[in-house]
């Protein structure tokens, strides 16, 4: 799709403003300038998500929407363990980031994409990337397209990343409104697949997902550097006629730790959470305090952390945890409490004088972190961490912490 001249142009103008390039007189004879400019724009965006691709000048990107929804290298590599030595069907191929990383570990991969421009671009890119175990199908998945596959008799593992964009490019948050509607395809897919992995928005509600989809085996909440990026719904054909009770569905929170550069996972079920007891503890200077990873908070693992780690909560709804002795391996950030202030005029004044620079967070507090920072009159940064929170007696407090080693 990109000629040698086009690739040279992209290399020479990779740092230029794409919008200005499109309006300028600079052109490449017999080339699609819209694709070239789109590729220059896409290259800048993909570099943050997939550096391996961002370093290259010979890959093309015809669609900005596909770039926004595509996975990062972190989440794509995390998903690889679902597909090792499997025959895989990616029914919503898109830009092909997930397909590319799946192909590295799968026996074979069938890439489905109905958008012709995107399909041609991904096929071209995969040839450049020397992917050899992938078959490309330019259509949507339905009964006839599946049966026409060269090896339709195989047992597949299906991957789906449905579109979360509606009319006028608006965002869609309800999985039942995604395109395609996975529930409408479920019977067809489970006819030849033993497992289906569906990527959904990180904004989706966990309990609702279990109700929306049948045969759910597991829900995986994937975070990178403590930011929730996506949720995976794992469908198992064995559960088709005998579903796992919703309270028994396994929930996994996975976070890629920036400091340790590795994934840390925590598993539980809704029944374990509901049967756990929350221990309420009043923090004191010298205690250790813990803030769970975002994927745990998203999944609702609140009381169970008290049981698993022998930690107390500051209050039932604050989701900050306390221990007198440091707990190794707690799934989140660990701090040591240096001071505790009342959130009143005296406390606000003293904090502003003592800590002109700090990292501010709030949990179960009536102000957002920016609002609290403004009230305290301090700037971001430094080695001090301030948490605005509500204690069990409903008193508003500012907990001053340092990072625990």
Whether residue 126 is found in the same domain as residue 213: yes
Whether residue 288 is found in the same domain as residue 254: no
Whether residue 57 is found in the same domain as residue 72: no
Quick one: which of 254, 248, 249 has its CA closest to 266? 254
Whether residue 77 is found in the same domain as residue 179: yes
pTM, entire model:
0.92
Interatomic CA distance for residues 387 and 56, integer angstroms: 43
Domains contained in the chain, number = 3
Q: What is the pLDDT along the chain (405 residues), one digit of tens a residue?
A: 889 989 998 999 888 888 888 777 777 777 788 888 899 999 999 999 999 999 999 999 997 777 888 899 999 999 999 999 999 999 999 999 999 999 999 999 999 999 999 999 999 999 999 999 999 999 888 767 776 666 667 889 999 999 887 766 778 888 888 999 999 999 999 988 999 999 999 999 999 999 999 899 999 999 999 999 999 999 999 998 888 999 999 999 999 998 889 999 999 999 999 999 989 999 999 999 999 999 999 999 999 999 999 999 999 999 999 999 999 999 999 999 999 999 999 999 999 999 999 999 999 999 999 999 999 999 999 999 999 999 999 999 999 999 997
Interatomic CA distance for residues 299 and 292, integer angstroms: 11
Whether residue 286 is found in the same domain as residue 263: no
Last residue of a domain, one of 270, 292, 323: 270
Quick one: which of 73, 93, 100 has its CA closest to 161? 93
Domain around 168: 68-270
User: What CATH number did the domain enclosing 328 receive?
Assistant: 3.30.2130
Whether residue 55 is found in the same domain as residue 97: no
**Using the 8-state DSSP alphabet, how is residue 175 labeled?**
G
DSSP β-ladder status, 134-137 and 108-112? parallel
Whether residue 349 is found in the same domain as residue 310: yes
Whether residue 217 is found in the same domain as residue 286: no
Last residue of a domain, one of 254, 270, 286: 270
Whether residue 103 is found in the same domain as residue 224: yes
The phi and psi torsions of 46 (rounded to 5 degrees) equal -70, -25
**Using the 8-state DSSP alphabet, how is residue 240 labeled?**
S
Last residue of a domain, one of 270, 291, 320: 270
Whether residue 57 is found in the same domain as residue 90: no
Largest Cα–Cα distance of the chain, in whole Å? 75
Whether residue 218 is found in the same domain as residue 134: yes
User: What CATH number did the domain enclosing 181 receive?
Assistant: 3.40.50.150
Query: Token pair for residue 148?
Result: 């026409």
372, burial (CB in 10 Å: exposed 0-12, middle 13-18, buried 19+)? buried
Whether residue 199 is found in the same domain as residue 144: yes
DSSP β-ladder status, 87-90 and 193-200? unpaired
User: What CATH number did the domain enclosing 39 receive?
Assistant: 1.10.10
């Amino acid at each position: 799709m990109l000629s040698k001249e086009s690739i040279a142009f992209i290399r020479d103008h990779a740092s230029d403003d794409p919008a200005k390039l499109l309006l300028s007189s600079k052109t490449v004879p017999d080339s699609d300038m819209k694709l070239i400019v789109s590729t220059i724009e896409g290259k800048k965006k993909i570099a943050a998500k997939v550096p391996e691709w961002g370093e290259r000048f010979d890959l093309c990107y015809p669609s900005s929407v596909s770039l926004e929804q595509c996975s990062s290298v972190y989440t794509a590599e995390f998903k690889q363990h679902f597909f090792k030595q499997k025959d895989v069907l990616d029914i919503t191929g898109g830009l092909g980031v997930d397909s590319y990383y799946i192909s590295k570990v799968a026996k074979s991969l069938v890439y489905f994409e109905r958008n012709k421009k995107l399909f041609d671009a991904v096929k071209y890119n995969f040839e450049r990337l020397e992917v050899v175990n992938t078959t490309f199908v330019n259509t949507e998945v339905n009964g006839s397209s599946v049966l026409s596959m060269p090896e339709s008799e195989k047992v597949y593992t299906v991957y789906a990343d449905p579109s979360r964009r509606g009319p006028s490019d608006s965002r869609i948050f309800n999985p039942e409104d995604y395109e395609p509607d996975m529930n409408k395809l479920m019977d067809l897919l489970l006819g030849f697949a033993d497992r289906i992995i569906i990527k959904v928005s990180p904004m989706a509600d966990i309990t609702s997902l279990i109700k929306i989809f049948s045969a759910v085996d597991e829900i995986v909440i994937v975070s990178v550097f403590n930011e929730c990026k996506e949720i995976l719904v794992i469908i198992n054909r064995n559960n088709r006629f005998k579903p796992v009770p919703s309270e028994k569905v396994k929930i996994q929170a996975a976070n890629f730790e920036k400091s340790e550069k590795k994934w840390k996972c925590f598993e539980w079920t809704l029944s374990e959470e509901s049967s756990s007891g929350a221990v309420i503890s009043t923090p004191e200077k010298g205690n250790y305090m813990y803030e769970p990873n975002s994927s745990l908070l998203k999944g609702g693992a609140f009381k169970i952390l008290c049981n698993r780690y022998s930690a107390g909560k500051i209050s039932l709804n604050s989701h900050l945890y306390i221990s007198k002795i440091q707990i190794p391996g707690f799934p989140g950030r660990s701090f040591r409490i240096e001071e505790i202030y009342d959130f009143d005029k005296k406390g606000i004044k003293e904090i502003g004088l003592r800590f002109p620079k700090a990292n501010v967070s709030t949990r179960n507090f009536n102000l957002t972190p920016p609002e609290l920072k403004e009230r305290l009159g301090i700037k971001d940064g430094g080695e001090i961490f301030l948490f605005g929170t509500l204690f069990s007696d409903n008193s508003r407090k500012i907990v001053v912490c340092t990072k625990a080693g």
